């Protein structure tokens, strides 16, 4: 394998590590702006826990983790052998 890419091979903008670094930095700035907005936006939820700082982000993270863990267990129940359709 050669270290240099083929001249005829098309390069995309995410192939350049500098662009990936810029994209990650923009992502961090957007996240910080959303956290800052959470301080200034009034919350009108029916439950007291909804008024906590960062509640929706924390809740979303926990829901995502729960979905992954449930899917892993569901895979065990639904998984079939590799030759299932060949039988």
Q: Which residues contact 23 (CB under 8 A, 6 or more apart)?
A: 14
Residue pLDDT tens, the chain, 87 long: 556 666 778 889 889 999 999 999 999 999 999 888 888 888 888 999 988 888 888 999 999 999 999 999 999 989 888 888 887
Taking the C-alpha atoms of residue 59 and residue 67, their distance in angstroms, rounded to an integer, is: 12
Taking the whole predicted model, whether its pTM rises above 0.85 is answered as no
pLDDT of residue 82: 86
Supply the pLDDT for residue 5.
Answer: 63
Q: Cβ neighbours of residue 84 under 8 Å, at least 6 residues apart?
A: none
């Amino acid at each position: 394998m050669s270290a240099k890419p083929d001249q005829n091979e098309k390069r995309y903008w995410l192939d350049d590590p500098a662009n990936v670094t810029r994209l990650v930095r923009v992502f961090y700035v957007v996240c910080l702006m959303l956290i800052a907005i959470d301080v200034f936006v009034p919350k009108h939820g029916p439950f007291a826990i909804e008024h906590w700082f960062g509640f929706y982000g924390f809740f979303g993270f926990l829901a995502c983790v729960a979905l992954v863990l449930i899917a892993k267990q569901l895979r065990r129940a639904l998984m079939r052998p590799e030759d299932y359709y060949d039988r």
